[in-house]
């Protein structure tokens, strides 16, 4: 609807009735000069697709989505992708139970320092590739309740998170993952990582998994569960 309206700085949507809307994919994508947007009256109860909704809104620093009802949303791919000035985002009200795609969701959100997704239910998600890729100032990610039972793709998930020192992936289950390449690539501040719960027997792509992790000194794995590809990747980087 407003895609690539690159000169708009403010949009007044206070009179919008969105009761019957099902698709807001790319609605504000490319509004690179947009500074403020008030979505407090948006009724998103029937929305199923929010993919790329605010992607490339590179001037927005804060977004209030506290009224959003995401009960029926299945696609959040790239929702905040390339919101490079975004500092604060509160998604505590988001119900992600039906979401299947979260890939690129925070891709290149390079000003974010903290993000709490502890309430996210990712039970039905299959793709989390590039989810936090190049969030270079991100220091804390809370994924303590992240359910990855059905995830198939997690490639480049944290790649380029150069400020990330620690990450707790103890909730991750990787039984169905096949794509894991470059997942921690260029995480240059990461000092240690515990992957002892990772089962990678179905993983076929692990190339460059730890490439550029220049501060990493310890990788904990359960050698009975890791694939030959992951074993080779670890030996290559930390021999």
User: With a cut of 50, which residues of the chain have pLDDT below it?
Assistant: none
pLDDT for 224 equals: 60
CA angle 46, 93, 90 (to 5 degrees): 120
Tell me the backbone φ, ψ of residue 151, rounded to 5 degrees. Answer: -70, 135
pTM for the model: 0.94
pLDDT for 206 equals: 87
Residue 231, H or E segment? helix 228-238
| Separation CA 64–CA 144 (nearest Å) | 23
pLDDT for 239 equals: 61
Burial class (CB in 10 A: 0-12, 13-18, 19+), 9: exposed
pLDDT for 176 equals: 95
What residues contact residue 112 under an 8 Å CB cut-off, 6+ apart? Answer: 86, 87, 89, 106, 135, 137, 138
- pLDDT (tens digit, 9 = 90+) per residue, 106-159? 999 999 999 999 999 999 999 999 999 999 999 999 998 899 999 999 999 999
Q: How far is CA 216 from CA 165, 181, 183, 231, in A?
A: 9, 17, 14, 16
pLDDT for 31 equals: 97
pLDDT for 201 equals: 86
């Amino acid at each position: 609807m407003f895609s690539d309206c690159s000169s708009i700085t403010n949009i007044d949507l206070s009179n919008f009735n969105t009761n019957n809307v099902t698709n807001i994919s790319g609605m504000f994508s490319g509004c690179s000069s947009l500074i403020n947007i008030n979505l407090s009256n948006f009724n998103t109860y029937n929305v199923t697709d929010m993919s790329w909704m605010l992607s490339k809104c590179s001037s927005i620093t804060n977004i209030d989505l506290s009224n959003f009802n995401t009960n029926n949303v299945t696609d959040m791919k790239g929702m905040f992708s390339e919101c490079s000035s975004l500092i604060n985002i509160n998604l505590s009200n988001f119900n992600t139970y039906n979401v299947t795609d979260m890939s690129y969701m925070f891709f290149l959100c390079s000003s974010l320092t903290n993000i709490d997704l502890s309430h996210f239910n990712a039970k039905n998600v299959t793709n989390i590739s590039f989810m936090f890729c190049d969030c270079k100032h991100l220091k804390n990610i809370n994924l303590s309740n992240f359910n990855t039972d059905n995830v198939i793709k997690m490639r480049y998930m944290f790649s380029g998170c150069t400020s990330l020192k620690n990450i707790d992936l103890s909730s991750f289950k990787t039984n169905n993952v096949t794509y894991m390449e470059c997942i921690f690539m260029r995480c240059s501040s990461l000092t240690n990582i515990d992957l002892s719960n990772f089962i990678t027997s179905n993983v076929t792509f692990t190339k460059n998994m730890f490439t550029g992790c220049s501060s990493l000194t310890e990788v904990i794995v359960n050698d009975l569960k890791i694939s030959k590809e992951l074993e080779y990747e670890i030996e290559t980087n930390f021999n």
